[in-house]
Structure 1
Amino acid sequence: MGPAGQNIGRGNCVISPAFDISSLHAFYAGGGTIAAIIEAVFARIVDIDDPGIFLHLADRKSLFEQAAALGTFDPTTKPLWGIPFAVKDNIDVAGMPTTASCPDYAYMPDTDATVVRLLKEAGALVIGKTNLDQFATGLVGVRTPYPVPRNAMDADLVPGGSSSGSAVATAQGIVSFALGTDTAGSGRIPAGLNNIVGMKPSLGALSTSGVIPACRTLDCVSIFALTVGDAWRVFEVAACHDAKDAYSKTIPANGFGQAPPVLTIGVPAKGDRLFFGDAVMEAAYDDALRMLTKLGHRLVEVPFGDFYKVANLLYEGAWVAERYAAVKDFFDAREVSFHPVTRGIYGGAKQLSAADAFKGLYALQALKQKVAPLIASVDLFCVPTAPTHYTRADLEAEPIRENSRLGTYTNFVNLLDMCGIAVPAGISSDGRPASVTLLTTSGRDGLTASLARDIHASSGLTLGATGWLQPKPNDTISVDEAGLIDIAVVGAHLSGMPLNAQLLALDSRFLRKARTSDCYRLYVLPGQMPAKPGLIRVPQATGGQIDVEIWQMTPAAFGQFVAAIPSPLSIGTLLLSDGTSTKGFLVEAAAVADATDITHYGGWRTYAAATV
């Protein structure tokens, strides 16, 4: 590794910076050219020598012309200026064939998929189209008539699918990020197996217009990246309502930044955890949970049997039929064109009836009702990305069972309308990548990304298979959105406390810890359920500095939040120890007449811990 993350020793690779977005933009700001990066991309492709990654490459001359059209370096107007990326070959790129890894299905699109267009408009450059499990059906990455991409970390392992080529291209440092799709885990499993980040956005956040459907009601475009911050930058650009997509939703890209100090994290109950005899992966997951505890979060074991039942529905009835419906005419006319395993899955769907589909829908609705209280009981979940590693030899022996097992912790996610992100958490004792996935309810992508960034930083891992160091954490934190309101919370609304869910439900974002000036006293309010403190202002230097958390919310959310605050609490202006002020909780003077003064504890969290 050379200075400033430069790669100076990978065979034919030319000297270039690391390919995370911050490093590339620093390179451009210092006078580096896109032409040099394009040359580095093609040199890496030659050096890595994996014919299974790309099904089509952009013309080098065309890339130079696109680079010239970007003009001078301007990351404000074009936040992805000069950033190379790859696109899974079930997503349209104008002028490049779309095959879905089925040569007989190939067509040449005239227009970009909406998500590709948005990324290009932000300055990103498409390097090529990547290999996949045919028609995005599989989690293994080997169901393709083309050469199978090599796992970037261990060539004996499957690369993961269905977005195999996109994950490997990112992990090898050929591109900064890549687009995949995710119906059953195709944006998470390959990320976990290749030591990179795999963001599965909330359903509808990214348009699927111009994407060949697998299960249209469940499909989403996913993002592979070297860092969580890079995945979020791409998400910010691509998250946009699309009137052409009937399943598109307006899901703002907000909430990414500092993770709340204390989150309640659901984990599968120990007796429910499935690793299929892989003690190494089980130990790696335990290590990740210890990391979360060390970061200050609270783990809660949750029964997981019903989540597994939801997962099993994905390859039964309604959703297998939906896969068949997506390509029915082509399958019925050209069944021989399909990969043997894929052909068996789609062919089986022809035997299903409408009654089978409704049976599945009814079963899902019943299970949703059962798991809803479990989902509501925690801020988010942390699960293994995959329960075990499988080699290519394993898949040759058991092509169906092993694929199904890889989906143990992924198949239920879209059926339950959750968002998630797979993040590297370490290297297991056998030298293979260890990854966890964070999951929560739709629209809270920023929360999972914020915690994922902390996990990745704590792991100390290098990026993918490149050996590049992680960029400094400050390089990946989003800038605060304009027009939002800061509010200081002091008691039951602190992270990890009983009423913090009210803030999260309003898409509030944790900003930082702080302390008040020494003109406040803190009391335990009598008769409150849950227990609450009251903060009251007193003359300067007659009180104490009290720990608070600063959260941020939209004006509309602030109004809704304040309207629900019961007497004797209120919102006023708090003075902080650094001389600034913010809106925050105060209490009426009459309420503390007979209350217990706990100012000497310095904060509600310390008091609560001392009186358990």
Structure 2
Amino acid sequence: MSDLHLLPASLDLVSLAAAYRQGLKPSRLFAHLHALAAADDHHAWISLMPLERLLSMAELLESQDPASLPLYGVPFAVKDNIDLADLPTTAACPDFAYQPARSATVVEKLIAAGAIPLGKTNLDQFATGLNGTRSPYGACRNAIAPDYISGGSSAGSAVSVALGQVSFSLGTDTAGSGRVPAAFNNLVGLKPSCGALSNRGVLPACRSLDSVSIFALSASDAAAVFAVAQGVDAEDPYSRPLRASEQRFVAGRSFRFGVPRADQLAFFGDSENPGLFAAAVAKLQALGGTPVELDFAPFLETANLLYGGPWVAERYHAIRDFIERQPESVFPVTREITLAGGKATAVELFDALYRLKALKVRCDAVWQSVDVVITPTAGYHPTIAAVHADPIRINTQLGYYTNFMNLLDYAAIAVPASWRSDGLPFGVTFFAPAHQDSFLLELAAHWQQSIGLSAGALGHVPAQGAQPRLVTEEMIKVAVCGAHLSGLPLNWQLTSRGAHLLGAVRSAPEYRFYALAGGPPQRPGMVRVEQGGASIAMEVWALPARHFGSFVAGIPAPLGIGKVSLEDGSEVCGFVCEGIATANAEDITEYGGWRAWLAQSK
């Protein structure tokens, strides 16, 4: 008896796993999907895996327990600037194509987890564009409204998921390529923290900024894929571990979210999206959020640096030999943008780096008052014809809410928000500092559950699975009270070891505080007492466990690291002082903290 009736209506991971439990064979699924993709006229695919190879991989799985692999028999697509050993990498430029000897690290990890790649997807050539029309393989057509753009550059990756041809796909995201196509095709688009997914085997666009991205029907699916694919890769110098984060989204728990000032929102003449964004803000409030109005000017100025500054030189650098040798092989708009990058000077680069550093200080200041920021993912949705008529201006408008993200080292997730009256989807993006990926994925999952919206183009509401645990670097909390406070002379001993500030705290009212003799730098000492103690201002830092020993070894007597009781009743590692050192020290307990004493002693 055929198992055709077991094919799931939706390829979300929960539905697919249920179909496999009911008896669906991976080989049957992949034969069906290969035929679907081969007949598709959306220009989503550049090359498909040979059917024989797909069936071989699928049949190999059939001898294994589906529960033994986290992505057992899950079909996925690979953007064609990411290496897949079975197929050439073209970057949407046939004359550039090469045959990789091995797959990219992320692809290897996914296949090892049981996922099977259906093929390579269309993109804006050399990942340069946010619209999906800059390809000799054809302008990628939107999965819901084919006369409209798919978004890019990860065009085919989004469309293939939205059309139900794969469960998830890999894209890349330097300027918004993993978020704009998600919004235009009614999907979740995760742009992880830079470095969390290895870029080995990925043709660079801007190597210092590139991020592999994930398209999926649900936030929990994106999280499941991310959990498998993430991890430090010694072969990628930009790879880094995810830091452990205490930030979690819990339903019913209050949080604060930033919203750009009304006069800084841009919808480029669209009359319906402003109201849909206001409704999305109200929905986020209903999830327990309190909106905080933000000055969005520094974010927008940062966005202008990406294409208006010297980072375009990285695009030129990635294909310099090819474009200088065969400029006629490059799409005209792509050629114009890329060759301009060869004119940037070192002085212009440093000017831009200095400006970016100043802007990041201003942008990062918002995290003192909000946990997350919401924006539209794109202000409006143009047609393919409109983009052909005005390619550069419209592409710039598409990056209004996305171009700043990697320059500022933030993580982001695009999610469906509502349907427009003309049948097009409208999406929003949540973003937060790097390493807040779990928080964003949890928020996105609750968002999808609360609005109950279908995902993709087929009208199905995806099932949300359990959130997997991400692999993060082990961190140790360290409470500091003196020269190691942020901005003070010894703070570098923390930051140089990869520590990050968790927040300001106060100790339990059990300590006397002293300005010790000696220096520079001046140091205080905290001594626990049975009576007459007070609460002392401190900061708690998260320090990578692998650096904890070297940090402690550098602390001179009479100071040391012990357990410090905090005002909230918890205990953390922190600076303590031998009582004998207080004999010649000044008791400064009345000031309540080191900064207050320093201020009065000047």
TM-score in terms of structure 2 length: 0.77
TM-fit CA distance, 1:39: 2.3
- The counterpart of 2:203, out of the listed 212, 227, 246, is 212
Give the match for residue 155 of structure 1: 146
Query: Contact between 2:26 and 2:73, CA under 8 Å: does it hold in 1?
Result: yes
- Residue 505 to residue 388, structure 1, CA distance change in 2 (3 Å): farther
Give the match for residue 453 of structure 1: 445
Q: Which runs of 5+ in 2 are unaligned?
A: 476-499, 504-533, 549-561, 572-602
TM-fit CA distance, 1:408: 0.5
Structure 2 matches for 1:131-146, cutoff 5 A? Answer: 131-146=122-137
TM-fit CA distance, 1:346: 1.1
- The counterpart of 2:468, out of the listed 462, 478, 482, is 478
**Partners of 1:571 and 1:355 in 2: CA distance:** 50
Give the match for residue 108 of structure 2: 117
- Residue 279 to residue 408, structure 1, CA distance change in 2 (3 Å): same
Structure 2 matches for 1:454-469, cutoff 5 A? Answer: 454-469=446-461
- Residue 264 to residue 73, structure 1, CA distance change in 2 (3 Å): farther
Q: Does 1:422 align with 2:414?
A: yes
TM-fit CA distance, 1:95: 2.0
Query: Contact between 1:235 and 1:253, CA under 8 Å: does it hold in 2?
Result: no
Query: Contact between 2:227 and 2:469, CA under 8 Å: does it hold in 1?
Result: no
Q: Deviations over 1:416-440 (max 9, x none)?
A: 0000000001112332111110100
- The counterpart of 1:299, out of the listed 260, 267, 291, is 291
- Residue 458 to residue 197, structure 1, CA distance change in 2 (3 Å): same
Give the match for residue 436 of structure 2: 444
- The counterpart of 2:318, out of the listed 316, 320, 326, is 326
- Residue 563 to residue 452, structure 1, CA distance change in 2 (3 Å): farther
Q: Does 1:248 align with 2:247?
A: no
TM-fit CA distance, 1:458: 2.2
**Partners of 1:244 and 1:308 in 2: CA distance:** 34
- Report the more deviating stretch, 69-78 or 23-32: 69-78
- Residue 379 to residue 51, structure 1, CA distance change in 2 (3 Å): closer
Give the match for residue 570 of structure 1: 569
Kindly provide the amino acid, as one letter, of the partner of residue 476 in structure 1. Answer: A
Give the match for residue 94 of structure 1: 85
TM-fit CA distance, 1:563: 5.3
Give the match for residue 595 of structure 2: none
Query: Contact between 2:121 and 2:157, CA under 8 Å: does it hold in 1?
Result: yes
Q: Deviations over 1:377-430 (max 9, x none)?
A: 210111110011111121122100100000001000000000000000111233
Give the match for residue 433 of structure 1: 425
Matched residue SS, 2:391: coil
Give the match for residue 49 of structure 2: 58
TM-fit CA distance, 1:44: 2.5
Q: Does 1:404 align with 2:396?
A: yes
Matched residue SS, 1:211: coil
**Partners of 1:462 and 1:215 in 2: CA distance:** 34
Query: Contact between 1:321 and 1:357, CA under 8 Å: does it hold in 2?
Result: no
Q: Deviations over 1:514-561 (max 9, x none)?
A: xxxxxxxxxxxxx9999xxxxxxxxxxxxxxxxxxxxxx9998xx9xx
Kindly provide the amino acid, as one letter, of the partner of residue 349 in structure 1. Answer: G
Q: Does 1:278 align with 2:270?
A: yes
**Partners of 2:421 and 2:286 in 1: CA distance:** 20
Q: Does 1:79 align with 2:70?
A: yes
Q: Does 1:199 align with 2:190?
A: yes
Query: Contact between 1:239 and 1:252, CA under 8 Å: does it hold in 2?
Result: no
**Partners of 1:69 and 1:235 in 2: CA distance:** 24
Matched residue SS, 1:208: coil
Matched residue SS, 1:421: strand
- The counterpart of 1:167, out of the listed 158, 164, 167, is 158
- Residue 332 to residue 401, structure 1, CA distance change in 2 (3 Å): same
Give the match for residue 223 of structure 2: 232
- Residue 247 to residue 260, structure 1, CA distance change in 2 (3 Å): farther
Give the match for residue 583 of structure 1: none
- Residue 259 to residue 99, structure 1, CA distance change in 2 (3 Å): farther
Q: Deviations over 1:28-85 (max 9, x none)?
A: 11221101211221242256x2251110100111111112222445354310010000
Give the match for residue 70 of structure 1: 61
Kindly provide the amino acid, as one letter, of the partner of residue 276 in structure 1. Answer: F
TM-score in terms of structure 1 length: 0.76
Q: How much is the aligned-residue C-alpha RMSD, in angstroms?
A: 3.0
- Residue 529 to residue 387, structure 1, CA distance change in 2 (3 Å): farther
- Residue 308 to residue 393, structure 1, CA distance change in 2 (3 Å): same
Give the match for residue 539 of structure 1: none
Matched residue SS, 1:403: helix
Query: Contact between 1:114 and 1:210, CA under 8 Å: does it hold in 2?
Result: yes
TM-fit CA distance, 1:233: 0.2
Kindly provide the amino acid, as one letter, of the partner of residue 389 in structure 1. Answer: H
**Partners of 2:361 and 2:470 in 1: CA distance:** 36
Query: Contact between 1:385 and 1:409, CA under 8 Å: does it hold in 2?
Result: yes
Query: Contact between 1:73 and 1:81, CA under 8 Å: does it hold in 2?
Result: no
**Partners of 2:244 and 2:69 in 1: CA distance:** 17
Kindly provide the amino acid, as one letter, of the partner of residue 325 in structure 2. Answer: A
**Partners of 1:27 and 1:330 in 2: CA distance:** 47
Q: Does 1:368 align with 2:368?
A: no
Query: Contact between 2:230 and 2:471, CA under 8 Å: does it hold in 1?
Result: no
**Partners of 1:299 and 1:109 in 2: CA distance:** 48
- Report the more deviating stretch, 449-458 or 175-184: 449-458
Kindly provide the amino acid, as one letter, of the partner of residue 295 in structure 1. Answer: L
- The number of aligned residues is 498
Query: Contact between 1:15 and 1:40, CA under 8 Å: does it hold in 2?
Result: no
- Residue 294 to residue 352, structure 1, CA distance change in 2 (3 Å): same
**Partners of 1:441 and 1:203 in 2: CA distance:** 11
TM-fit CA distance, 1:277: 2.0
TM-fit CA distance, 1:17: 4.1
Q: Deviations over 1:240-266 (max 9, x none)?
A: 100000000011698777456211101
- Residue 251 to residue 439, structure 1, CA distance change in 2 (3 Å): same
Query: Contact between 1:177 and 1:223, CA under 8 Å: does it hold in 2?
Result: yes
Query: Contact between 1:457 and 1:470, CA under 8 Å: does it hold in 2?
Result: no
- Identity among equivalent positions (%) equals 45
- Residue 377 to residue 37, structure 1, CA distance change in 2 (3 Å): same
TM-fit CA distance, 1:300: 0.5
Q: Deviations over 1:278-315 (max 9, x none)?
A: 12111111110010111221110100011000000000
- Residue 368 to residue 479, structure 1, CA distance change in 2 (3 Å): closer
- The counterpart of 2:28, out of the listed 22, 31, 36, is 36
Give the match for residue 335 of structure 2: 343
- Residue 480 to residue 327, structure 1, CA distance change in 2 (3 Å): closer
TM-fit CA distance, 1:228: 0.5
TM-fit CA distance, 1:168: 0.2
TM-fit CA distance, 1:463: 2.2
